[in-house]
Amino acid sequence: MTSRIGLVGLGLVGTAIAESLLAQQFDVVGFDISPERCQQLEKSGGKSMSNATDVADRVEHVILSLPDTNAVRQAVESPGGILDAESLPTHIIDTTTGDPEETTSLAQRLAERGITFLDSTISGSSRQVRDREAVLMVGGDKAAFDACGNIFSALAEKVFYIGPSGSGSKAKLASNLILGLNRLALAEGLVFADKLGLDLEAFLELLKATPAYSAIMDTKGEKMLKGDFSAQARVRQHHKDVALILKYAEKAGQELPLSKVHLDVLEKSIAAGDADLDNSAVIREIQRRSSRKS
Q: What is the CATH number of the domain that holds 158?
A: 3.40.50.720
- Please answer whether residues 241 and 171 qualify as being in contact, where contact means their C-beta atoms are separated by less than 8 angstroms: no
Number of domains in the chain: 2
pLDDT for 60 beyond 70 = yes
Same domain, 8 and 73: yes
pLDDT tens across 97-142, in order? 999 999 999 999 999 999 999 999 999 999 999 999 999 999 999 9
With 0-12 CB in 10 A as exposed, 13-18 as middle and 19+ as buried, what is 166? buried
Looking at residue 5, the DSSP 8-state letter turns out to be E
Structural domain that includes position 109: 4-164
Does residue 176 sit in the same domain as residue 69?
Answer: no
185, with CB counted inside 10 A (0-12, 13-18, 19+), is: middle
- When pLDDT is averaged across residues 143-172 and rounded to a whole number, the result is 96
One domain, residues 21 and 148: yes
Last residue of a domain, one of 164, 196, 230: 164
Between helix 235-252 and helix 257-271 the angle, nearest 10°, is 150
Q: How confident is the model at residue 64 (pLDDT cuts 50, 70, 90)?
A: very high
Q: Are residues 154 and 13 in the same domain?
A: yes
For residue 1, pLDDT over 50 is answered with no
Residue 91, beta-bridge partner list: 61, 116
Q: How confident is the model at residue 294 (pLDDT cuts 50, 70, 90)?
A: low
155 and 38, same structural domain?
yes
Of all residues in the chain, the percent with pLDDT exceeding 70 is 99
pTM (global) more than 0.85: yes
Share of the chain above pLDDT 90, in %: 98
